[in-house]
C-alpha cells in the first residue's frame, strides 16, 4: 500500500537570509515530519540585521500558487504568515475557501520583523481582523501583535490569559499568545483553546540569545505540522512549544550574521 505524507502549505513571504518566512517554514515543517509546500506572497530583501526591501508578488500569482498546490497535492493544514496587503489577504481567504482548505488554518499575524521593520501595511490590519482571523483555527500573535489586535496594553503575565480569551471570543479562534516580550527568567506562553474553553499554560526558561529571528514563523509552522499529523489541538501546541524551545536553545551557541541569527531548525538531526 502506498503511503501518504502529512501535508502543510505555507503562505508567507520569502526571507533571503533564510531565518524566517517561507524558508523557516519549510525547514520547520520538514523537521516536524511533514511535507512542505509554499505560496510566496512577497520577496523581502533581508538578512539578520533587518529588512531593506519588500516586493509584493502579484495577487493573481499568489492565488495561482495556492490553487496549483491544492488542485494537485492538497493540504492537511495551512500556515499563513506575511501577507503585506489587503488585496492579498482577501485573495488568500477566497482561494482557501474555494478549495475547502480552511479547516486547519494556523495564522501568524505577522506585522513587524524581529529587527523592527514593518511587514504589514497599516490599512491591511483591519482587513486581517475582519477577513482572515475569523476563518483561522489558531492564531499565534506575540505581545505587540496581540496589543494591536485587542486594542489594549499587555504589561504583565496576568494580562496574557485575559487578552487571549478576549481575542478568542472576539474572533472565534484559538489563541496562542507568546510571552517572549515580557521580562523574567521564566516564560509562560498562554494557549486559549476555543474548542473546549480552557487555558493551557506553557512554561519554559528564558534563553539568553540574540538568535531569535524567525521564532514566530517557526512556532506557527510547528503547530500546523502537528495538526496536519493528526494531533489534538492541545497536543499540537505542546509539541510545537517544545520544538521551538529546543530550536532556540540549540541555536544559541551559533553565530550567523551580524544581527539576530536564526534558531536551529534541525537540532534533532544535526549532531
Which residues belong to the active site? 178, 212, 214-217
User: Who contacts 128 (Cβ-Cβ below 8 Å, separation ≥6)?
Assistant: 83, 89, 109, 120
CA distance 103 to 164: 21
Task: Provide the sign of the torsion angle of the four alpha carbons 252, 26, 24, 110, taken in this order.
Answer: negative
CA distance 103 to 206: 33
User: Who contacts 146 (Cβ-Cβ below 8 Å, separation ≥6)?
Assistant: 154, 163, 164, 167, 175, 177
Do residues 6 and 35 lie in contact, with contact meaning Cβ atoms separated by under 8 Å? yes
Amino acid at each position: 500500500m502506498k503511503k501518504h505524507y502529512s501535508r502543510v502549505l505555507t503562505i508567507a513571504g520569502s526571507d533571503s537570509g533564510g531565518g524566517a518566512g517561507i524558508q523557516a517554514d519549510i525547514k520547520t515543517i520538514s523537521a516536524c515530519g511533514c511535507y512542505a509546500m509554499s505560496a510566496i506572497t512577497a520577496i523581502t530583501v533581508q538578512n539578520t540585521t533587518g529588512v531593506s526591501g519588500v516586493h509584493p508578488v502579484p495577487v493573481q500569482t499568489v492565488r495561482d500558487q495556492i490553487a496549483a498546490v491544492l488542485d494537485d497535492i492538497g493540504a492537511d493544514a495551512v500556515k499563513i504568515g506575511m501577507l503585506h496587503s489587503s488585496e492579498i489577504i482577501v485573495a488568500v481567504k477566497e482561494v482557501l475557501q474555494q478549495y475547502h482548505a480552511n479547516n486547519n488554518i494556523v495564522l501568524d499575524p505577522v506585522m513587524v520583523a524581529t529587527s523592527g521593520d514593518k511587514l504589514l501595511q497599516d490599512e491591511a490590519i483591519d482587513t486581517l481582523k475582519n477577513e482572515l482571523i475569523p476563518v483561522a483555527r489558531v492564531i499565534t500573535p506575540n505581545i505587540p501583535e496581540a496589543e494591536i489586535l485587542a486594542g489594549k496594553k499587555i504589561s504583565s503575565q496576568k494580562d496574557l490569559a485575559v487578552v487571549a480569551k478576549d481575542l478568542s471570543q472576539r474572533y472565534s479562534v484559538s489563541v496562542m499568545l507568546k510571552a517572549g516580550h515580557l521580562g523574567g527568567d521564566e516564560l509562560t506562553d498562554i494557549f486559549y483553546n476555543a474548542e473546549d474553553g480552557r487555558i493551557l499554560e506553557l512554561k519554559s526558561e528564558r534563553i539568553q540569545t540574540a538568535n531569535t529571528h524567525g521564532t514566530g514563523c517557526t512556532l506557527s509552522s510547528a503547530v500546523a505540522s502537528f495538526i496536519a499529523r493528526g494531533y489534538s489541538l492541545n497536543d499540537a501546541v505542546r509539541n510545537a512549544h517544545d520544538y521551538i524551545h529546543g530550536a532556540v536553545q540549540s541555536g544559541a551557541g551559533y553565530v550567523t550574521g551580524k544581527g539576530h541569527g536564526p534558531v536551529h531548525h534541525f537540532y534533532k538531526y544535526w549532531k
